[in-house]
Amino acid sequence: MPTWGFRMSEVTFFIEVALSGLMAGVMYSLVALGFVLIFKASGIFNFAQGVMALFAALTLVGFMEKFGMPAWLAIIGTIAVMIALAWLIEKLMLRHLVNQEPIILFMATIGLAYVLEGIGDIVWGSDVKVLDIGIPQGASDYMLDNFNIYIEKLEIFAAATAGILVVFLAIFFQKTRIGRALRAVADDHQAALSVGISLRTIWVIVWSVSGIVALVAGIMWGSKSGVQFSLSLIALKALPVLILGGFTSVPGAIIGGMIIGVGEKVAEVYLGPFVGGAIENWFAYMLALAFLLFRPQGLFGERIIERV
């Protein structure tokens, strides 16, 4: 890779590296976002978030391949499936675990991850699938011609989609009744109940929303690298993102994801040669560790206030 070095100026090279990290970053952000939503509303650390992305992508491909649906219909169908899934999760799992220890709930989501993986496997098969819903592919000629920077159209598209999704969620959370109800539940269950907020409805909504966010993540990643099991592994990268951005902060999840995505790519290219490469595999965790030491509440997380 460093052999490219002489072909372009140092600056454009750097930008290119950073941008290529951005795609992965957007991915991390989306998965982390799903985590944050569920964690905020129910205090559950959802281990299955990554698998949900895989499951959503598998379902989408399945709808398109097996039933020959057009992309838009398949997406609507998948959204319906994700909502149904949220409803089932509430009905079969959450409802029975009210007031349990967080660790029990966490274990339950591990179980959920295996169940979803299994179902995906059985219903749609375990082979690597190509996902093409018509997102433009290839390099952006515009960027190449004007700035001499190589960047995939898909990456631009992914970043834009993530941006829109975040703005949309921010408005939803801040300005609507249901958004307020979500925050209310996150703050105080009893008080939320007393004003007539139904916890179950809220849970179905947050799990649905994270399901949809997972679908978006699944589409992006699947379009780039095909739908395969490794998709569920990006969930592992979401943990450092959360530590960086704070477990309860939506903007934190987004920016944390970008920082890690870009950071690990830049580190790989510039520092990799000196330490024998593969920085990408551990960089995120190092960064998270540093944060744990210096700013445990994360970039945007609420300061942890000791209650007396």
Q: Considering beta carbons, is residue 113 or 212 the nearer one to other proteins?
A: 212
Q: Which stretch binds other proteins (CB under 8 A): 15-23, 96-104, 188-196, 237-245?
A: 188-196
* 3 interacts with other proteins by CB under 8 A: no
Q: Applying CB under 8 A, which of residues 104, 164, 191, 278 lies at the interface with other proteins?
A: 191
Question: Per CB under 8 A, which of residues 155..184 are in contact with other proteins?
Answer: 168, 171-172, 175-181, 183-184
Question: Per CB under 8 A, which of residues 20..39 are in contact with other proteins?
Answer: none
Min dist. Cβ of residue 99 to other proteins (A): 12
Q: Considering beta carbons, is residue 7 or 303 the nearer one to other proteins?
A: 303
263 to 302: interface string for other proteins, x by CB under 8 A: ---------------------------------------x
Min dist. Cβ of residue 180 to other proteins (A): 5
Burial 111-134 (b: 16+ CB within 10 A, else e): ebbebbbeebeeebeeeebebeee
Q: Applying CB under 8 A, which of residues 4, 187, 233, 296 lies at the interface with other proteins?
A: 187
Q: Considering beta carbons, is residue 76 or 233 the nearer one to other proteins?
A: 76
Q: Applying CB under 8 A, which of residues 11, 103, 122, 195 lies at the interface with other proteins?
A: 195
The count of residues interacting with other proteins (CB under 8 A) is 26
Residues that bind other proteins in the complex, under the rule CB under 8 A:
168, 171-172, 175-181, 183-184, 186-188, 190-198, 205, 302
